[in-house]
Every structure is written in C-alpha cells, then in structure tokens.
Structure 1
Amino acid sequence: MAVTMTEAAARHVSRYLSRRGKGVGVRLGVKTTGCSGLAYKLEYVDEAVADDVVFEDHGVKVMVDPKSLAYIDGTQLDFVREGLNEGFRFNNPNERDRCGCGESFRV
C-alpha cells in the first residue's frame, strides 16, 4: 500500500510550505460528491492526525486517512503545467470511470 508523488509535485509542495512558513506536508483523501460519486480532496497539513497513514516521497509527507486509502492506494500525485493552467493531477490505478467535467471519479 502506497501513495507516491512525482518530483514536480514534491517541489511544488515544498515551495508552498516554505512560503507559508509552516506545515508538514499534504493530506490526500476522497469525499462523496459529483456525478461519479467520489472526488479527491487535497489540503496542506500543519500537523499529522493520530490515525493518518503517512507516506514520504522526495522528502515530502503525504498523509491519508484510513477510509480514503482503500480508494486511492497506488495513486501518484503529480503537478503539471499545461499552457497557462497548472495544478495537481491524480494518477489513480483504481479509477474505473471519470465524469465528463473531471470533478469526480468512480472505483
């Protein structure tokens, strides 16, 4: 069981945490929403929660709550720039379908 991040994602998170002046990493999880059922949620974390499952990649910690791990196990977090747009991309091998607007997914 693992959640990883690319070097580009780790660089982006490290820079943001440095500018922010605090934080230990990011928390990746899922929430029920959208037309396909689940959506990713990503937030910066100031301190880990006791039941978090913690992964570290390229020196950056990724915390996942145990309930979300079943849906995102094996996911790679990437940070991409396409033209004027930039953002995180979730490469999840468990994803079976994604809604047309790209906001939600199904496993």
Structure 2
Amino acid sequence: MAPTFYHYWPVPMTDKSESMLESQRLGRLGCLGILLIPVVVALLVAVITLGIRVNSKACKDGLLAEQECRNATRLLELRLTQTQQDLLETMDQAATCNQTAVS
C-alpha cells in the first residue's frame, strides 16, 4: 500500500526566478500607487479650495478692515503714551510748585 501523506519541501527563495520577483515588486508598487492617487487628489482639491477662499473679495475686505483697525490702535496707543508723559510732567510741575509754596 502506498503512503497517503505526501510532504513537499518549500522551494528556497534563491530558486525563484527573477521575473517572478519583478512581478511581485511591480504588484506592490501598483497597489501603493492606487492608494496614493486619492490622497494626492484630495490634497490638490484642498489647496485649490484654499486658494479660491484666500483670494475672495470678502477675505481681502477683511484684511483691509484688520489693517485699518491696527492703524487706529497704533494711533490711540501713541496718543495714550503722549498723554501719560504729559501727565507725569504736569505732576512733576505741581510737586515743584507745592515745594516752593511750602518753603
């Protein structure tokens, strides 16, 4: 009676043909390419959408309003600084007058 169990030894890697290895490599690169295409398309759509929004009239008007507010704020800060300096000078003059009046 013949044995019922046959065992085949695995073929070592060195015995695989170059064309078989090349086809496996191309298959992996193809899968990677297929996975990367949607990511690249999504990023491209996002960049185009952002570009359209940044160059919109509303965005430009908002930037102009922000610049005007900054200019007004700078002018107000300058006036406040000048007023504080004037107040200090006036307080120094008042202190000098009080000293001469007491003396």
TM-score range, shorter chain: under 0.3
TM, length-normalised to structure 2: 0.16
Q: Which has the higher strand share?
A: 1
Larger Rg belongs to? 2
TM-score computed with the length of structure 1 as normaliser: 0.15
